[in-house]
Amino acid sequence: MTSPAGVTGTSAPRLGPLQTIEPVSAVSAVTRRLLDFFTSGEIAAGDRLPAERQLAAQLGVGRSAVREALAALELLGIVSVRPGSGTYLKGSVSELLPQTLSWGLWLGEPKTVELIQVRTVLEVQVARLAADLASDDQREAIEATLVTMRENRDEFRVFVEADMRFHQVIAEAAGNSLLTDLLTTVRSLIRVWVERAVNDVAHTNLTLGEHTAIAEAIAARDADAAAAAMDRHMKSAGERLLSSLGDS
């Protein structure tokens, strides 16, 4: 196999240390097995990973599980995806992995359930703070995400991006950088499941309605109403996420 133009090396390395795995909690298992591979010494920072099809064949799982595992690793800053070229192990992995592993790489069902609970508490608090502290520009940014969601109810990836941005702007408006960082990490770790849960227009319509109630409470500077609306949204979203876990 030859490398694409501009890429050093002649071929992607074989995943020697890996063995096939049962497709139970496949995304979590693939992610952990890839981390083992990254620290095995058989691949170096900057190397290109084998193609999705090759990874799926070597691991004995479907390509969708590999794709979602790579998406999670990209969100965690461990790999980078270069369109038209491939997926590459990022530099300074020795620094990235301890941080990632300290969070337990919570992508399997038991820890994801706990992350959903943690996220609920944090999101309700930032909604309350944002109602008191959000600037006019931040309120406009919140509204802009609603417009994007409203116009892309059947474009699920675009909708999820706007959904994430909605929550990010609210967190920033709360004026607490630690809360913002914590929420960013939690959202990154459960994003794979969020994308799975948003899979039909009924879900996007429901989410849009819940977001609208939160935005209206923040615009009215009603902290209690904002917290209550966010709590309702988190419980509803949590139920959909838990349902998607059962389908994995």
pLDDT tens for the chain, 248 residues long, are 444 444 444 455 665 555 554 444 577 788 878 877 877 777 888 899 999 999 999 999 989 889 888 887 887 678 888 888 999 988 655 555 555 554 444 455 556 777 888 899 999 999 999 999 999 999 999 999 999 999 999 998 899 889 989 999 999 999 998 888 888 877 777 776 677 777 789 989 999 999 999 999 999 999 999 999 999 999 998 888 777 665 55
pTM here?
A: 0.60
Looking at every residue in the chain, the average pLDDT score rounds to 81
pLDDT, tens digit, 9 for 90 and up, residues 146-202: 999 999 999 988 998 899 899 999 999 999 988 888 888 777 777 766 777 777 899
Q: Per-domain residue ranges for the chain? A: 26-100, 106-246
CATH match of 26-100 with 1.10.10.10: yes
CATH number of 106-246: 3.40.50.970, 1.20.120.530, 1.25.40.10, 3.30.450.40? 1.20.120.530
Phi, psi angle pair for 46, to nearest 5°: 95, -10
pLDDT of residue 151: 96
